Each structure stands twice: as structure tokens, then as C-alpha cells.
Chain A
């Protein structure tokens, strides 16, 4: 069992609420979530479709802002911040992997990995990119376009892109959802290895119980609330 009180808290959320307003109706996507994310820990958010998993990790990755509650990312309070200020929070702290990979189709594998570094203005060399690509086993695909890769390879590129800025927290939204079982298992093993090697926090959403069992901690969402 992980002793959480010995680990550094990277993300801390209290009473997080995210409401959507449609005409007279209020949709409570998240309704009072308390959550902590620790360095070197893998946290699985389990739940059925529509339970609020993606909404929660959008808040935890500063891609969206809560309607109510307290949220600290890397020690900074993100409540009330503008989009520009949220960008500053995201940069260098959060690495995000999407279910549908979302690589830029006009760029090569190496350029996709280098993209966050360009936006952050971080100096990098081809060698730096090669090291990252090597860590996900795609060094020989560095000049390929995303359309020339398989689903598993594209997800590995997405992982490499997320890791390029050396984030403190890696967030993955159903990262194996678009992959076959074997490829999904391989990609997930890669995630866990990298998390341990780099001592970063790892949050993933899934409705795959097998994957959830391999994580350090699991929370289950239902109707926007943690039920276990």
C-alpha cells in the first residue's frame, strides 16, 4: 500500500463542481469531488460513460475551470484564472494523452513530439527528441507522418509528446480505448514504466477493470460523485 502522506501532492482538489447550464436545466457533471494526486503514483478514475471522468481530468489538467471548489495544481490555485493563466499552469506541469491520439497530421512523428517544446520556447536538439522517441520504441518512425502509423504507434507518439516537456503529472483520457487488447496492454505497461522511472503523477480514466487493478489507487465516479 502506498503511504500517500509521504509523497508530494501535485494536484489537490476540494469540493470540485462543474455545472453546465442548458436553458432551465442544470447538468451537474461533477458535484463535490475531493481528490489528491501524488508524485510517482498512478491513479485510475473508473466509471461508466457520462459519469464525469473526462470532465474531472479536464479540470485536473487545467483545460477547463470548475464552477465551484478549490483546485491547486503544483501548488498554484487555479480558481478564477483566465485562459492565458491556465496555459501557464498547464505548461511544463501537465502532459495530456487523448483517447483519439490527436496528433497533428501535417507534422512528422519527431515534429509532433517537439511541438510542446516549441510552444514553451524550450531549446531542444534532434538528439533530445530521439531520446524521447527511443523511450517509447519509435525511434525508427521519427520521419513518418501520423497517417503512416498504426493506432498503437500513434498512441505512443502521443505519450512521447506528453513526456517531452518533462511534466509533473501525466494525464490520459481512456488511452487504450481506441486500441486492441494486446496493443492497449503494451501501451499501458509503457505508461506505468515511465511513471515509475520519472517519478511523475499519473492519472488515467478508463472503464477497463483489468487496467484499473494495475494502478496504485482507483476512484469510482457515478453521476459526478465519487462512490468509492
Chain B
């Protein structure tokens, strides 16, 4: 027998207290790891989502910069529009490598079946993001788009640029609406200046493969068709731009040149990223506070559990000293018990965080709906190692006081107190 085995037997011999203490540590570690994963994952997710846009700079109508930030990532209401001559002017800028005009409108999706018959739905309507795009420039900007294949999807293609009734659906919207190539999709649009919506019938000519970005939730139609349907001829929602050389100086020069167009703002996606990350900052502080409280509660729980164990076992500790245990040996024994509790608790907590990361991701996505489409919780090996090491260090610190109390017990008094 050695001290580790002895400590382990002491813990196993008191299963309820041991399990409760480990549970407390595990919960605190799970919260801390999830928070750490969120801190790592959210930034990466924002960068990934912005990367998926394909452009670094947006030109859009003047308005709230935060709305601008979220507009391209998750769509939005109350859209503002800019004249499409902005596109033709900016296109000639010498710093522009690629440029694409985009018109975004919200269509009211009708609850109707694939063939236009009344659906079994609850009668409520929802909105669908309709993106009017210039096919040639859009494809240059996002060359990774491919069409889904397989039964019902083969033969997918881009729409005819002059067509008014052909659409291409993003992966998620097609899944959600249960539409395949050749199906019909109904949407009603209230044209600019009109009061009553107008029902439109579209034919699905292609379904895109999943990109993991906001593009999966869009329905694509030709730019001209979108402008016509929404009765906004010669208007755009944004112009997406990729610069030949993207850095702070080039960006400021570019911004200076094009701010001369009235009612236009130039937004760098770096700014967008900064805006989104700063928006999330407050939530992160609150979550961090919760995690810190959880960790403090867990430390107090460990101290309490070990102290209770020491008080309960005063007689045993007295006996150990009577049969030859030194103060140092008693201290080490109690400390090892604390080490086991926190180490096992930390490992269980890490497993909980890994298993529960999907649920945490969903909850955060619900609470912080900022248009991020990739995983928001990124739990990495270094994060897990850091969590375990930190928990063990905190646990060992928490174990010092109870261990000292045990080590300093006088054997006669300790034995007498237990009788």
C-alpha cells in the first residue's frame, strides 16, 4: 500500500461525498471550458463567416453600422438601398480586383406544397431572403459554389440571367422547404410603393451544396428579376468588393475616394468583425462572471468537503499519528485526496464540456444570434490541458488549509474527540 492507494480508498469509502464533490468540480470545469471554447470559437467563426462572403469591403447605403455588420451575415429587415450607378462607378476603381452587385429582399414565403397545393402547415407565413445577383461577377467572387447532386438534384444549374421565374436555392433553405430540382417555390413580395403583396411562382433549377455559411439560407435569382419583383429598378443593397491589396492604408484611400457618393458608406469587413466581436464582449464578460462564480463555488465546495472529511475522520487521523504518521505524511495524504477529487472532477468536466458543446453552441447561437454559421464553441486540446492543470492547481491550493488542520491535530485530542 502507498499514500495514493490509501487516499483513493478513503475517497471510495465515502462514495456520496466523493461523487458530489467531483460533480461540483466537474460542473465548474465544464462551464469554464465551454466559455474558453466560446472565446476561441466565436472569433474563428466570425472570421470564417466573413471569409465565406468572398469580399473584404462592402459599399452600402448609410445607416447603422451594426446593422451593416449583420446584414450580410444573417440578412435583416428594414433594408436600405443605394443606386446601382455606384456599382458602375466603383467598378472602374484601379484598386478593385473583383466586384459584385447584390440586391437583397425579403419575400413572404407561402405555406404551400411542392406542387402549389395547400400545405398541411399551420397557416403562418415566414420570410425568405431573396438575393438578386449578377451571375458572372458573383461566381468570380465565390468560385467554391457547386451544385448538389443525387436523386432529385442531378442536372442542377444556374438560372438564365434573363429569366424571371428561375431560382437557385441554398442548401439549408432547400432542405427546410423540402425542394429539389424541378420543384415549384411560391413566394409573395410586396413591391416598393404597393400595399398588397404579389404572389410569384418560381421554378427551382438548382440546389447548392452546403457551404457552412449564410449563403446556405438564401434563394438566388437574377439581379434584374429581383429589382423588378421588388419594384426597385436600378437599386442595390450592397456592392461587394475584393481589393487587389487589402491593408489599412489601401482601405482608407479607397474609402476616401468613394465616400464622395452621397448616401453611401464603405464598410471594411475587418470593421464588421470588430463590431461583432465588440458586440459580443458584454455577453462574454457576463458568461466569464458566471464561470468565475462557478469556479469559486467549486473551490469552496472542495474545501468544505475535505474539511468535513477531516472533522469526520479526526479519530482516524489521531490513530494514524499514534501509529507513526508524521505531520507531513498526514498533510500529504489529505492533499492527495484533494488532488484526486479535483483531477477526476476536471477530467469529468472536460468530458462534459466536449459532450455538451453542441448544446452550448445551440444555446449561444440562440442567445447571440449574430449570423455566425460555423461552430461557436471550439474546444481544443491545449484548452482542455489548461483547464485540468488550472483545476488541479486551484484544488491543491484549496486543500492546503484542511490538510494543515489535519496535520496539526494532536493525536490524543483527535482520538478523544471521536469517542
**Which residues of chain A are near B323, meaning CB under 8 Å?**
96, 115-116, 119, 161-162, 165
* Interface 9-mer from A31-39, A104-112, A134-142: A104-112
B1-42 CB contact bits vs A (8 Å, 1 = yes)?
Answer: 111001001101110000000000000000000000000000
What is the size category of the interface that chain A forms with chain B? 20 to 34
Q: Which residues of A contact B10 (CB under 8 A)?
A: 106
- Given known A102-B315, A107-B9, contact A96–B322 (CB-CB < 8 A): yes
Interface flags for A50-81 (1: CB within 8 Å of B; 0: not) read: 00000000100101100000000000000000
Is the pair A91, B324 in contact by a Cβ cutoff of 8 Å? yes
List which A86-141 residues lie within 8 A (CB) of chain B: 87, 90-92, 96, 98, 100, 102, 104-107, 111, 114-116, 118-120
Given contacts A83-B410, A87-B321, A98-B415, contact A106 B326 (CB under 8 A): no
B319 beta carbon closer than 8 Å to chain A: yes
Within 8 A of A (CB), among B213-261: none
B9 touches A106 (CB 8 A): yes
Judge if B316 is at the interface, Cβ distance under 8 Å.
Answer: yes
Bin chain B's interface residue count: 20 to 34
B residues near A120, Cβ cutoff 8 Å? 324
Contact residues in B for A118 (Cβ distance below 8 Å): 1-3, 6
**Is A182 close to B, CB under 8 A?**
no
Partner of B324, one of A84, A98, A100, A116: A116
Secondary structure of the B contact surface, majority rule: helix
Q: How far is the CA of A106 from the CA of B325 in the complex (A)?
A: 17
**Contacting residue for B419 out of A87, A91, A100, A115, CB 8 A:** A100
B316/A114 in contact, CB under 8 A: no
Most chain B beta-carbon neighbours within 10 Å: one of A61, A100, A102: A102
Q: Is the CB of A63 within 8 A of B326?
A: no
Contact assessment for B411 and A105 in the assembled complex, using a CB-CB cutoff below 8 Å: no
Q: Which residues of A contact B419 (CB under 8 A)?
A: 100
Cβ B9 vs Cβ A63 within 8 A: no
Chain A residues near B322: list those with CB within 8 A: 61, 63, 90, 96, 98
Rounded to whole angstroms, the CA-CA distance of A12 and B10 in the bound complex is: 38
CA A119 to CA B326, docked complex, whole Å: 8
Q: Is the CB of A119 within 8 A of B415?
A: no
- Asked whether B412 lies within 8 Å of A58 as measured between CB atoms, the reply is yes
- Is A104's CB under 8 angstroms from B316's CB? yes
- CA separation between A91 and B326, bound complex, in Å? 9
From the candidates A64, A92, A106, A119, name the one contacting B320 in the complex (CB within 8 A): A119
Let me know if B327 is at the binding interface, CB within 8 A. yes
- Who on chain B is nearest to A100 by CB? B419
B149 within 8 A of A: no
Q: Which residue of A lies closest to B330 (CB)?
A: A119
- Which residues of B have CB within 8 Å of A84? 326-327
Query: Cα distance A68–B325 when bound, in Å?
Result: 26
Q: Which of A87, A115, A116 contacts B326 (CB 8 A)?
A: A87
How far is B323's CA from A119's CA once the two chains are assembled, in angstroms? 8
Report how far A102 CA is from B418 CA in the complex, Å: 10
User: Considering the chains assembled together, what is the distance between the CA atoms of A92 and B2 in angstroms?
Assistant: 19
10 additional contacts (CB under 8 A) given A102-B316, A104-B320: A58-B412, A83-B410, A92-B324, A106-B13, A106-B14, A111-B6, A119-B323, A161-B323, A162-B323, A165-B324
Name 10 interchain pairs, CB-CB below 8 A, sorted by A. A83-B410, A87-B326, A91-B324, A100-B419, A105-B316, A115-B1, A116-B323, A119-B326, A119-B329, A165-B323
Of all A-B residue pairs in the complex, the 7 with the closest CB atoms, nearest first, are A106-B13, A119-B324, A116-B323, A119-B325, A102-B319, A91-B324, A106-B9
